[in-house]
C-alpha cells in the first residue's frame, strides 16, 4: 500500500467518526456557512504574482517543517505580503493540521482560503464551508469521475471555488468538467513523493484555457515560476519554502516583491 492509500483509509474512518458527532444541520447553522465567499480563481486571473501560500506544519515526506508558527500570525503575514490566497492543511494525522486552523485563518485575514484536504465525502465540503473556506481541493487520484462531478457541483452550489488536482494525463482527462474553476498539477508524485516541474510542463498543453492553471509542489524559486509561466500557469502553490523560515509572512512578502520587480 502507498502513503496515499493509507491516508485515504484513515480519512474514511475519521470522516465517519465526525459525521456521527456533528450532523450536517449543525454545520449548516454555523455563521460562516452563510458568509459571502471570495474567489481564488478571480484573484489569480488578476494577479501579477499568482502566489497561493500554504500553512503546513509537516508532511509524510518532511516530518518537521515548522511547529512553531501561530496560524493567526501566518495568515496575517500572508495577507500583508499580498498573496492571492492561502492554503490551510486540515489533515491531522499526516500533516499536523486541523479545522481549527481554518477557523483561525478565517478570523485573521480576508484572503481566499483553500481547505487543503483529502476529500472523499460530500460531508467534508459542507465542513469546509462551515469553517470559512472559499475553495476546496479535489484530488483526481483518489476520486472517480462521478465523485468529482458530484463533489464539484455541490461545491459550486455553495459558492465555493474548486481546485482539481492531477498528476498525469489519465487523471486529467477523466476530470475535465464545467464545475471546476482551477486545474492544479501536482509536481509531487503522491505515491513516491518525488518532485519534478516537468509534470506541470508536460500536462499544460492538455489543460483547456477555460480553467486557471495552477502548479503545485516543488516551487521554491522565482526562476521556477518564470519557467512555468510560458506554459500558461497563473497560480503557484508554495508551502515549505515559506514555512521553513523564521517568518513565513515576511518571506512571502520579499518573494512576491522580487517576483513582481
In this prediction, residue 250 carries a pLDDT of 95
Q: Which three cell numbers stand for residue 11?
A: 480519512
Does the pLDDT at position 154 exceed 60?
yes
CB atoms inside a 10 Å sphere around CB 35: 13
Residues 251 and 244: beta-carbon distance below 8 Å: no
pLDDT > 90: percent of the chain: 85
State the Cα–Cα distance between residues 2 and 8, nearest whole angstrom.
Answer: 10
CATH code, domain carrying 230: 3.20.20.70
Residue 41: phi and psi, rounded to 5, are -60, -45
pLDDT band at residue 160 using 50, 70 and 90 as cut-offs = very high
Total residue count of the chain as it appears in this document:
261
> Helix 122-130 crosses helix 145-157 at what angle (to 10 degrees)?
30
The position carrying cell 465525502 is 121
State the Cα–Cα distance between residues 20 and 23, nearest whole angstrom.
Answer: 7
In this prediction, residue 190 carries a pLDDT of 66
Q: Look up the domain containing 217 and give its range.
A: 3-260
Structure confidence by residue, pLDDT tens digits, 34-77: 999 999 999 999 999 999 999 987 676 665 555 667 899 999 99
Mean pLDDT, rounded, for 20-43: 98
Residues 78 and 248: beta-carbon distance below 8 Å: yes
Catalytic residues: 54, 56, 116, 165, 186, 216-217
Q: Which three cell numbers stand for residue 50?
A: 499568482
**In whole numbers, what is the pLDDT of the chain averaged over residues?**
93
Structure confidence by residue, pLDDT tens digits, 175-204: 999 999 999 999 987 667 788 999 999 999
Mean pLDDT, rounded, for 128-147: 98
pTM of the model: 0.95
pLDDT > 70: percent of the chain: 95
In this prediction, residue 188 carries a pLDDT of 83
Burial tier of 187 (Cβ tally within 10 Å: 0-12, 13-18, 19+): buried
Distance of CA 206 to the CA centre of its chain: 21
The total number of structural domains in the chain stands at 1
Amino acid at each position: 500500500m502507498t502513503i496515499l492509500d493509507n491516508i485515504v483509509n484513515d480519512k474514511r474512518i475519521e470522516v465517519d467518526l465526525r459525521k456521527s458527532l456533528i450532523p450536517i444541520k449543525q454545520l449548516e447553522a454555523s455563521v460562516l456557512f452563510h458568509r459571502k465567499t471570495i474567489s481564488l480563481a478571480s484573484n489569480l486571473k488578476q494577479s501579477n504574482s499568482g502566489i497561493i501560500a500554504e500553512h503546513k506544519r509537516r508532511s509524510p515526506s518532511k516530518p518537521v517543517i515548522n511547529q512553531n508558527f501561530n496560524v493567526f500570525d501566518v495568515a496575517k503575514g500572508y495577507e500583508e505580503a499580498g498573496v492571492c490566497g492561502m492554503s490551510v492543511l486540515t489533515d491531522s494525522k499526516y500533516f499536523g493540521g486541523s479545522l481549527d486552523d481554518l477557523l483561525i485563518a478565517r478570523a485573521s485575514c480576508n484572503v481566499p482560503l483553500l481547505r487543503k484536504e483529502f476529500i472523499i465525502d460530500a460531508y467534508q465540503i459542507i465542513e469546509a464551508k462551515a469553517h470559512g473556506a472559499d475553495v476546496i481541493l479535489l484530488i483526481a487520484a483518489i476520486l472517480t469521475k462521478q465523485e468529482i462531478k458530484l463533489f464539484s457541483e455541490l461545491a459550486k452550489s455553495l459558492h465555493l471555488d474548486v481546485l482539481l488536482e492531477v498528476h498525469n494525463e489519465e487523471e486529467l482527462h477523466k476530470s475535465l468538467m464545467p464545475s471546476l474553476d482551477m486545474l492544479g498539477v501536482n509536481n509531487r508524485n503522491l505515491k513516491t513523493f518525488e518532485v519534478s516541474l516537468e509534470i506541470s510542463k508536460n500536462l499544460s498543453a492538455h489543460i483547456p484555457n477555460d480553467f486557471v492553471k495552477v502548479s503545485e509542489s516543488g516551487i521554491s524559486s522565482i526562476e521556477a515560476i518564470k519557467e512555468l509561466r510560458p506554459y500558461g500557469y497563473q497560480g503557484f502553490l508554495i508551502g515549505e519554502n515559506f514555512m521553513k523560515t523564521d517568518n513565513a509572512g515576511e518571506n512571502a512578502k520579499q518573494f512576491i516583491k522580487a517576483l513582481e520587480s
